[in-house]
Structures are given as C-alpha cells and as structure tokens.
Amino acid sequence: MTKSRILTAVAAVFGIASRVGAQSDVARQSPPRTPVMMPYVAIHEPVFVPASNAAFALDDDLVIGVARGATAKAYLALDLMQHGSVDDRMPDSPIEVTWCGTCGTGAVFRAELNGRHLHFEYDSMVNANEVHRDVETGSRWQQSTGEAISGPLKGSTLALYPFVLTTWKAWRTRYPGTTILKPLPGYAEHMPLLRPVMQRARTSGEGAAPKGSFSTDDRLRPREMIAGLSVGTETMAFPLSALRIARVVNERVGGVPVVVVHQPSLDTTTAFEAQAKGKALRFEMANDDASALIDLDTHSTWDAYGVCLDGPLKGVQLKPLILVPEFWFAWSQFRPGTRVFSASSAKSSPQ
C-alpha cells in the first residue's frame, strides 16, 4: 500500500471512503469540495504554536500530550493519523510520536538506542499495523510494540516515553503554557472529515479485523478500543466500554498494585502504581467523573493524575504508568495471553 493511499484506506474501514481521498462525482459538482489528498509522510521538522493560535483544534479533539519540566507539547490525533510519525525532542530525550489509524494505536517512543538518535519514516503495513523505518540503519520497527522486526537492529525495542491521550481542552487546562503541533499546509482541511471517523472508532467497536491481521482472540470484538498496560512481563487490556462503567479500577499487574482511572467527561484514562511510602493503596471515586479520588487506607484525597491534594499523604505523586490506546485485534495479536479487565468483576468501589 502506498503512502498516499493510507488515509483513504483508514476512511474506507469506517464507510466514508467516498468523502476522503479521490473526490466523488457529487463532491466535484457541489461545494464545498473535498480537500485534495495530501501525501502520507512523516514530519521531521515539527513546528509548534501556542494554544491561543490553535484555531484548527476543537475542545473535544484528542491529543497526545507529553510533558517534562516546564515543557509541554500536544499532538493532535487528527493530524497524526495523516502522517503516522513525528520526530521531535523533549528536554530529556528525542522522541517519536506515532499513530496508526488502521489499528487505532497511539504511542510515543524514546527515539534513541544505545545513545544513537534515530529518525523515522513510514515503511509499510505488517499484520495490519504500521511499520516505520529508521533513516540511520534502515531497520524496520513495528509501531504497536516498538520492536525492530528486520535490519541491523532487529530484536531491539524502543522504550515508551510517558504520554497521555486526552482532549485538547483538558490538556491546555492542565498545561496553560503548552504548545501544539501546527499542521502542515493542506492537512488541516481534512480534519472535519476525519473527526467522525475517530469518534466512531473509539465508541462503536463495530467491524471485523482488517485484512492482514492474525488476531484470533475473540474475548473482545476486534475493534473494541482498549487501554493497554504492560508492567514487567505481564500485560492487561482495559476496554474503554468497561472503564466508562467502573471509572476507578484497583488491580495488580506484573506483581505491582496499580490503579486505573477513567474520566468520562474528558475521555481520558490514566494509570499509576498504587503505592506510597512502602504501602499499597486502594482507591475509590470521590466524585462522579473520577476527577477526584480517595484512598481507602489513609483517606487522603487525590486527583486523577496521581497527585495527593489533601490528607496524610499530601504532596505525594504516584508513579505514572503508560497506557497505550489500541484496537483489541492489534493489542491481542502482538500480546497473546494478555489479561482482560471486565466491568462485571471490577475491583473498584462506588462513591
């Protein structure tokens, strides 16, 4: 599949191919005209603008957000799905921000290995997931796992860089000084067409796995959107449909106590090691949207980002864990034997 056809293929999966890509007869005859298809190419020299100049982003648009010290950046998912990969740098590391529209996977990796800075291009689709090629060695990397599947670096794995998938309004409220990736000329025009595609993908769960997928795990529907968590050698999938019910989940993954928090109004899921000062903690909602939590052990109050706001543990920050948004078919095919969270067996407590 050529780079210029990827976006059309993504749209076709959700039944709107006639509106994205080559213009239909109706589009040619009646304004407004469908924007011309733009090349599917990685971004190597990203340009950012302050939030006040981001008229292209709506409040409910999803962004991948990264923050380190005084630096906060946002990458609009609607923009990422037109490029697949963005090379960038944070104060502590070069990063690659990735998005595979076919499998709904968003992930950020440390773009270095053994001290060598790597830059990435789109290469191909393997197992219905994008593969990126690094310019420096020609090695090919599976986007879902960050593992090199061929080339001189075959068998190596890029480390995930901390990120969160959230709404643009929620991100800029949390980080008022954030900047956001500015779309290249011609790409912002496609966003109104892609918004319903992304919304449907995150909520419907409908449709079969795409051609090329080898997923055979039917515990969830192939296109069920999950938040995937890896701790040590164990992996666990948290379906968003179940998290919208449970909202706060106390679990143990890889032998570590964890808490997963879903804020429905922000469509945002976060996760942390549920332990502080050598003691494991259990949490419950302090309000309906799970924007505030209470731990059952010290009765301290926490926000949904792992910061204790009041009580005996005030000022403590729980260690964040990285959740990867992905369709079930993609997560399960690369992680056979993964555990699956079910709302019916939720280890959470009501308000």
| pLDDT tens series, the chain, 351 aa | 444 444 444 444 333 333 333 333 333 344 456 678 899 999 999 999 999 999 999 999 999 999 999 999 999 999 999 999 999 999 999 999 999 999 999 999 999 999 999 999 999 999 999 999 999 999 999 999 999 999 999 999 999 999 999 999 999 999 999 999 999 999 999 999 999 988 888 888 999 999 999 988 999 999 999 999 999 999 999 999 999 999 999 999 999 999 999 999 999 999 999 999 999 999 999 999 999 999 999 999 999 999 999 999 999 999 999 999 999 999 999 999 999 999 776 544 333
Task: Supply the pTM of this predicted model.
Answer: 0.89
| Tally of structural domains, the chain | 2
Shared domain check, 242 and 290: yes
Angle (deg, nearest 10), helices 191-203 and 6-13 = 50
Give residue 1's pLDDT: 41
Q: Do β-strands 179-181 and 320-321 pair in parallel, antiparallel, or remain unpaired?
A: unpaired
268 contact partners, CB below 8 Å, separation of at least 6: 164, 165, 166, 167, 170, 262, 304
Give residue 6's pLDDT: 42
Give residue 148's pLDDT: 98
Shared domain check, 184 and 229: no
Q: What is the CATH number of the domain that holds 163?
A: 2.102.10.10
Contact between 6 and 84 (Cβ < 8 Å): yes
315, with CB counted inside 10 A (0-12, 13-18, 19+), is exposed
Range of the domain at 334: 225-345
Residue 42 placed within a domain: yes
115, with CB counted inside 10 A (0-12, 13-18, 19+), is exposed
Strand-pair partners of 100: 105
Give residue 37's pLDDT: 84
Give residue 98's pLDDT: 98
- Spatial distance between the Cα atoms of 109 and 34, rounded to a whole number of angstroms: 34
Give residue 203's pLDDT: 86
Domain boundary among 167, 190, 213: 190
Shared domain check, 136 and 53: yes
- Spatial distance between the Cα atoms of 130 and 312, rounded to a whole number of angstroms: 47
Contact between 293 and 87 (Cβ < 8 Å): no
Residue 82 placed within a domain: yes
Please report which helix (H) or strand (E) contains residue 95, including its range.
strand 93-100
Shared domain check, 267 and 178: no
Give residue 32's pLDDT: 52
SS3 string of 149-194?
EECCCCCCECCECCCEEEEHHHHHHHCCCCEEECCCCCCHHHHHHH
Residue 8 placed within a domain: no
Shared domain check, 171 and 73: yes
Q: In what order do the strands lie in the sheet with 248-253?
A: 248-253, 256-263, 268-273, 320-321
Residue 206 placed within a domain: no
Give residue 343's pLDDT: 79
Give residue 101's pLDDT: 94
Give residue 33's pLDDT: 63
Shared domain check, 234 and 286: yes
Give residue 27's pLDDT: 36
Contact between 161 and 90 (Cβ < 8 Å): yes
Contact between 102 and 125 (Cβ < 8 Å): yes
- Spatial distance between the Cα atoms of 271 and 164, rounded to a whole number of angstroms: 10
